[in-house]
Amino acid sequence: MTTPTEDPAELDRSDPAAEVAARAAAFRNWGRWGEDDVLGTLNFIEPSKRVEAAALVTEGRIVSLAQAFDTNGPQKGWRRRTNPVHTMTDTGTDAERGSQGFPHGIGGADDVIAMPLQCSTQWDGLGHIFDHGNAWNGRRAGDVVTSDGDLVTGIEHAASVIVSRGVLLDMGRHLQTETGELPDGYAITVADLEACVAAQGASSAVGRGDIVLVRTGQYARTRRDGWGDYAGGPAPGLSLTTAGWLHRTEIAAIATDTWGFEVRPNEFDAPAFQPLHQVVIPNIGLTIGEMWNLDELAEACLERSRWDFLLSAAPLPITGAVGSPINPVAIL
C-alpha cells in the first residue's frame, strides 16, 4: 500500500472520496485494542503516563481552557446548534418576598441550562462521526447510535480517563510571529507541526499518550473582532495530510481553538465536508476537542519557555452522549 502524501500540494483536489479512503485504510486502528473497545486512542493514557504528567506540576497554577457557556457564544443555529440558555427557577427576589414556601426564613436559588452538548468548549466522542456507515472499530453506525443515544461508545466511558500530559503547539505564534494568529483557510501541515515542536524545544516533543493542543489564534481574533463566522465558517486548522502524523505519534487526543479542528474551507474543489474528521474519529479512534480557549495558556507557556503540563479534561458522564461540554484545566 502506498503511504498517502503529507504534502497538501499533492492532494487530488477533485477527489475527496479517494483521499479520505486512502487515509482511512492506511491508518485504521480497528481491532487494535480488541473488538469490544470503547476508548480508541485514549487507551494510550496508561497510569504511568499520568504519574509522568503529575510530575510536571511545579507551581500549582491552574489555567482554565474553556470558553464561556452563555448566550454570547459562537453558535448560529446550524443543525440546531444554539448557544446555552440559562434560566433561573428560584431567585433572591423570590426569597426576599417569601414566595418560595420554605420554613424559618431560609431561601435559595436554583437554575437550569438548555444547550447542545457541542455548543462551546467540548470533546467529540467516538460516536460523533461515521465513515460510510461505519462507526469506531468497524461497528455498524446504526448499531452504535440510535434514538436512545450512543449505546456502545457513549462519552461516559471517558469520564475517568482524560488526564495526561498536555502539550501546547502554538502554531499561531510560530507561523505568524507578529500577530500570533493564522489566517482563515490556512492548512497546518506535518512540516508545520514538526517545525513548531523543534522551535519550541524539548518540552513540546509529542509522543504516546499525550494530549496535543493546537493554538491557531482564531479564537483570540474572534474575541477582539466579534464571532463572525467562527461557528462553521472559514478557519485555520489541520490539513487532511496530517492524518498519518496523528496516527504514528500515538497521541491520545487533540484539541484546537477553532470550531472544527481541521482547515476550512476543506482542501478540495469538489464538495467536501470535514474529511479529516471522517478519517480520525471512526478509523483512528481519536478523540477531538474543539473551541478551547488556549490564549492564557500560551502566554503562560511562553513566559516559562515550557510547553507541557498536567492536563485534566474529563467529559460529563452523560450516558449515551456523542460529545460533552468540558472545562479543561492545565496545571503548571
Coil vs helix vs strand at 306? coil
pTM: 0.96
CA 84/CA 79 separation, integer angstroms: 15
The confidence score (pLDDT) of residue 234 equals 98
The confidence score (pLDDT) of residue 108 equals 96
Please give the full DSSP string across 235-261, using - where no structure is assigned. Answer: B-EE-GGGHHHHHHTT-SEEEESSSSS
Q: Residue 35's domain is classified under what CATH number?
A: 3.50.30.50
The confidence score (pLDDT) of residue 2 equals 86
**Same domain, residue pair 218 and 147:** yes
CA 126/CA 288 separation, integer angstroms: 9
**Same domain, residue pair 110 and 234:** no
**Same domain, residue pair 104 and 123:** no
**Same domain, residue pair 179 and 235:** yes
Identity at 127, one-letter amino acid code: G
Specify whether the CB–CB gap between 30 and 40 falls below 8 A: no
**Same domain, residue pair 207 and 239:** yes
**Same domain, residue pair 104 and 131:** no
Q: Domain range spanning residue 272?
A: 8-77+116-331
b/e string for 22-46 if b means 16 or more Cβ within 10 A? bbbebbbbbeebeeebbbbbbbbbe
CA 277/CA 131 separation, integer angstroms: 9
**Same domain, residue pair 18 and 157:** yes
**Same domain, residue pair 229 and 310:** yes
CA 215/CA 182 separation, integer angstroms: 9
Identity at 111, one-letter amino acid code: D
The confidence score (pLDDT) of residue 273 equals 98
CA 262/CA 259 separation, integer angstroms: 9
CA 13/CA 33 separation, integer angstroms: 34
**Same domain, residue pair 33 and 97:** no
**Same domain, residue pair 193 and 278:** yes
Whole-angstrom CA distances from 84 to 79, 89, 282 are: 15, 16, 28
Specify whether the CB–CB gap between 152 and 38 falls below 8 A: yes
- Chain-centre distance for alpha carbon 143: 25
Any domain includes 1: no
Number of continuous H segments (helices) and E segments (strands) in the chain: 10, 15
CA 125/CA 301 separation, integer angstroms: 28
**Same domain, residue pair 132 and 163:** yes
Whether the bond between 265 and the residue before it is cis, its omega within 30 degrees of 0, is yes
**Same domain, residue pair 186 and 99:** no
Any domain includes 2: no
The confidence score (pLDDT) of residue 244 equals 98
CA 101/CA 159 separation, integer angstroms: 38
Mean pLDDT by 10 residues, the chain (332 residues): 93 98 98 98 98 98 97 93 96 94 95 96 98 98 98 98 98 97 98 98 98 98 96 98 98 98 98 98 98 98 98 98 98 98
Total domain count for the chain? 2
